[in-house]
Amino acid sequence: MKLKFQLFLLFSCLFFIHCSNKDSKEGYKNGMVVSANSLASQIGIDILKNGGNAFDAAIGVQFALSVVYPSAGNIGGGGFVVYRLNDGSVGSLDFREKAPSKATRNMYLNDNNEVYIEKSKFGHLASGIPGSVDGMVKLHEKFGSLDWKKLLEPSIKLSKNGFKLTKNQAISLNSVKESFLKLNDSSISLINKNDWKENDLLVQNNLYKTLERIKNDKRAGFYSGETAQLLLNEMNQGNGIFTLEDLDNYNSIWREPIIGNYKNHKIISMGPPSSGGIALVQMLDGADKLNVYKYEHNSKDYIHLISEIESRVYADRVTYLGDPDFFEVPSNILISDQYLQNKFSTIDLNIKTPSSEIKEGQITMNETEETTHFSIVDKFGNAVSITTTINGSYGSKVVVDGAGFLLNNEMDDFSIKPGFPNMFGLTGGEANAIEGNKRMLSSMTPTIIEKENELFMVLGTPGGSTIITSVFQTILNVIDFNMNIQEAVDSKKFHHQWSPDVIVIEKNTIKNDIKEDLINMGHKFNERSSIGRMDCILVNESSKLEGGADKRGDDIAIGF
């Protein structure tokens, strides 16, 4: 009898696995969440199953990631939302961090006008005013349908009761142990005396208390009261420059998204202070003008042309992009046909243009890379694309004593000195110089695509300076090379950002003979183990949802 029961269980499990795999390939019709962590994705799906919309699920996933994905998920950072409602209307929310009011242009320079790079990367001076909590509150006020407290309860339970670490998470936490010990006086939950192991339980009691305050008091639970005082105490202890007024005055901003087109597809992406949307639309226009679809995927000609396009676009990023509340960004000109025709007309299939000869276009005017992205579509047809960050892995490595959350190191995304590269090698200019209350330039590229006026794709990725090029190439993989969404995500990526003049490429992307041909043309290579971690949703020909979760991490797509 016992043997029969065991056989029944075995065949039941096999049947379930078969059906799950079948459903996954055919797609889902009621909703999907794709994020960097299985617990966060499941929380989002549960919210959708309980009648919530994509915005409710996004709020649940954001707070869940602040608990279960500490290297990038956050309440101490910021990010961007791009959304599309089921009636076709679109918009975006900027909850990017801001420089403290006491920030100054030369705050990271010594008396000899030399960059003191450690100050912009580690410790209290590296942090901008966090925007994530305000952003989620504003998202809920405008689009939320479920009770705010219910959306935070799953994350609160995870912080209080703990969750089991994956192998990757254990390795990651151990790798930054020394930095944590150096920058934090008190013991913090992210440090394990004997090092972390897979399946160890991570309990975060101080973060639990902070999330409780946010649950009960929304914005006031973070930007004022006990949490704010703990944050200011931390800043005072570490010679930081946050003030209570900085916290009181922080506000997320609803902005118009950047709109472009590629082969009868409507591209909806984030505008400044993100460089992502403008750069993405520029790159897609270059791909269209040069007919890159005619060349074999990741062939010599394809890699050459895409790299030439990317390098020209990143040259513009240096000069013309910054916080639009402080700098007049010529967005419409940068994505105009005439401007881009001039920009890409100098690309030659047989000649590599040195970066030293590539300049920004002429206009007459009167991001380790630990970000995280998640994509959500609900049964009503609403779509949300969110990229959020604390910049480097575990941000500034400072955990707010008594509050349990990590502070970002987003100040490094400013031009700490015009012409000097940041932690991702991106060079900055005057448009992105440090000013108090200014938002720093970003590469985050949350994107939604329509096909024939219907929702088609929701996508984005972490990856610092490689974010834009990863999104760009994933779009081409689907539209031009007919890959399904998982194939498009899995596909090897490469990246060129103008300076340094080198193609960053994932290992085993191309054959040696192709690489040699490109080197003979003048291209240089820098190999990496991975580029990006795309988390995407595709609406297939059957109008069902397919998820593409990046296998470069612990990412997972869950649908129902």
Which is nearest to 415 in space by CA: 129, 109, 132, 77?
Answer: 109
* Token reading at 359: 């300049």
Chain centroid to CA 25: how far? 26
Find tokens 């079948």 and name the residue: 22
Q: Rounded to the nearest 5 degrees, what angle is found at the Cα of 127, between the Cα atoms of 115 and 431?
A: 60
* 3-class DSSP state of 269: strand
Chain centroid to CA 176: how far? 21
Peptide bond before residue 130 is cis, with ω within 30 degrees of 0: no
Amino acid at 283: M
Say how far apart CA 443 and CA 369 lie, in whole Å.
Answer: 11
Mode of pairing for the β-strands spanning 383-389 and 78-84: antiparallel
Phi-psi region of 204 (alpha: psi -120 to 50; beta: other; left: phi over 0): beta
Q: What is the largest CA-CA distance in the chain?
A: 86
DSSP per-residue letters across 368-414:
---EEEEEEEETTS-EEEEEEE-SSTTTTSPBPTTT--BPP-GGGGS
Given the residues 227, 368, 371, 474, the one annotated as active site: 371
For residue 220, give the H/E element and its range.
helix 220-223
Say how far apart CA 307 and CA 510 lie, in whole Å.
Answer: 14
227 in catalytic set: no
Say how far apart CA 374 and CA 398 lie, in whole Å.
Answer: 25
Residues whose CB falls within 8 Å of the CB of residue 208, separated by 6 or more in sequence, listed in order: 156, 159, 160, 404
The count of residues in the chain is 560
Say how far apart CA 118 and CA 412 lie, in whole Å.
Answer: 10
C-beta pairs of 518-526 under 8 Å, 24+ apart in sequence: 518/300, 518/303, 518/304, 521/304, 521/350, 521/351, 521/352, 522/352, 522/354, 523/304, 523/307, 523/352, 526/502
Q: Phi first, then psi: what are they for 507, rounded to 5°?
A: -60, 145
Alpha-carbon dihedral 284, 287, 288, 294, rounded to 10 degrees: -140
Say how far apart CA 79 and CA 341 lie, in whole Å.
Answer: 32
Asked if residue 422 lies in contact with residue 256, where contact means CB atoms within 8 angstroms, the answer is no
Which is nearest to 415 in space by CA: 378, 441, 392?
Answer: 441
Active site residues: 371
